[in-house]
Chains A and B, each alone.
Chain A
């Protein structure tokens, strides 16, 4: 498995680059890839190095202020959700676990809905992401408090508390939505946000999301050896010197930060955190130090391509991103389930 790592990155990094350039070039106004590269290079490199005379102001605005931030936000969300999924699957020792299991996803959605209903989202562009992020962390704190007795938090209890809290919080979100349905415009905004999407995302959204995703990724990689051992069972981990309860707390907090930052800027985007880590694990093996960065890169590429499809398949309107990822991820999930079922029944 280890020998495959260079090959994996040799294929994935160019794919990531090509999908990013494609996603910037393709759209209601199609641009040549030369224009895309020139504008991006013009922004990043010293002015004298790049010839910008053939790029119009409109093209420059479309590339740098509309499409580049959107692609970068997609990359961050994909990386965050995938890394979060890696942690969840290891922590629950279940390859079919996903980031929303501890209630952080539902908490983030409720936070976002409150921001819509309270009208904060109209007054400030950062209030929605901040409310979603706060919702994720508060939900996790509640779930953790419910699942902990005498300083011990069994993962099975954590899972049950997470699922219960998740449905409760989702119900509250739906309640808020239905009592506010008379406000048609707001209700539509909420529904669209809940379905996940990256329309009209700006550099502000990127800066709101990227630092948290980066922080979460680094924290996860630093804890990767604890996670390897936890994956073999808590008693095993403890017998090798892992401080199990503190490691679980830090790891669930890390997933809440990653999930919260992603839901904050993209709404609810399902299946990325489930399918990407699972697929990458099949190729590179389960060692978390390898799996975390590899899944992050694969998740970024996957979500950039899904968002490209969401924008372009049904022009001039957009399909919601959460629908595209579910349509791609759902069948993969079912295939994995069937495969797993077959493995179990055939021994």
Chain B
């Protein structure tokens, strides 16, 4: 079983420490929510885990015990996918072309597209329910459609770990539920899905594990009820939360300023 691990990972930008000795371990089948206020270090932690922070100390992040800095960039890309918060698509590539870019780490420089490549692209497009958009120019799609296209490109890689930075930030209610359902089904099929988000109600409903991060430090890790306690919400988010029972028995949070 693969394990992606951060051990006391610290990242500084200039004089400021933006990630302070963060430790986290990720294994199969989890849907992990990374929550915290703006600027708390969620995106930095995701990038560090994806090996996209080149100045990180060598053994701060390991994949199956190997320092990620020692692993070939393409191998990392085949196993760990990162979807940035910026869902801009530059130039009028078609949806099909965008998703096929996901096969980059699998293809040699001179290799033609293989049957496995085509099959992975087809499955990714089907899973994200964007078959009807395949021939459209991706930069003309709506925010929700574009987010699904970018997730499909990530699925085409067939990675074990999928790290998403605020995938639902710009989506309406329906599309954001769609993306969250997709994340849940990915976790159920054995992927590790980590998503940074501000949507605490979504966290409550979907995440199997919650990581609370504040001023660059991981404050607590555990189940929803352990991490999103009244006390931590007040300390970290500076809000008071009323838990109202929802229709399905799950609580719904209503927030008030302190």
Contact = CB atoms under 8 A, between A and B. Distances in A.
A228 B93 contact: yes
Interface in B48-97: 50, 52, 54, 73-78, 81-82, 84, 86, 88-94, 97
A240 B91 contact: no
Contacts of B110: 222
Contact of B90 (A222, A232, A243): A232
A93 B81 contact: no
Tell which of A225, A238, A241, A242 has the most Cβ of chain B within 10 Å: A241
B52 A233 contact: no
A243 B73 contact: yes
Interface in A217-252: 222, 225, 228-229, 231-233, 235-236, 238-243
Contact of A231 (B54, B78, B91): B91
Contacts of B82: 235, 239
A239 B90 contact: no
B50 A285 contact: no
Interface stretch (B33-41, B99-107, B206-214, B215-223): B99-107
B125 interface: no
Nearest to B72: A241
B90 A233 contact: yes
A96 to B, nearest CB: 12
B93 A240 contact: no
A250 to B, nearest CB: 11
A128 to B, nearest CB: 36
A95 interface: yes
B46 to A, nearest CB: 10
Interface residues of B, number: 32
Given A238-B52, A241-B104, A233 B86 contact: yes
B109 interface: yes
Contacts of A166: none
A229 B47 CA distance: 18
Contacts of A233: 84, 86, 88, 90
A54 B28 CA distance: 81
Interface of A: 1, 90, 93, 95, 152, 222, 225, 228-229, 231-233, 235-236, 238-243, 281, 285-287
21 contacts: A93-B90, A225-B104, A228-B93, A231-B91, A233-B88, A235-B84, A238-B73, A239-B50, A239-B52, A239-B77, A240-B101, A240-B102, A240-B105, A241-B73, A241-B75, A241-B76, A241-B78, A285-B92, A286-B91, A286-B92, A287-B93
Given A225-B101, A241-B75, A285-B92, 20 more contacts: A90-B91, A93-B91, A228-B97, A228-B101, A229-B101, A233-B84, A233-B88, A233-B90, A236-B84, A239-B82, A240-B157, A241-B76, A241-B77, A241-B78, A241-B104, A243-B73, A281-B91, A285-B93, A286-B92, A286-B93
Closest 5 CB pairs of A and B: A241-B77, A241-B105, A286-B91, A241-B74, A239-B82
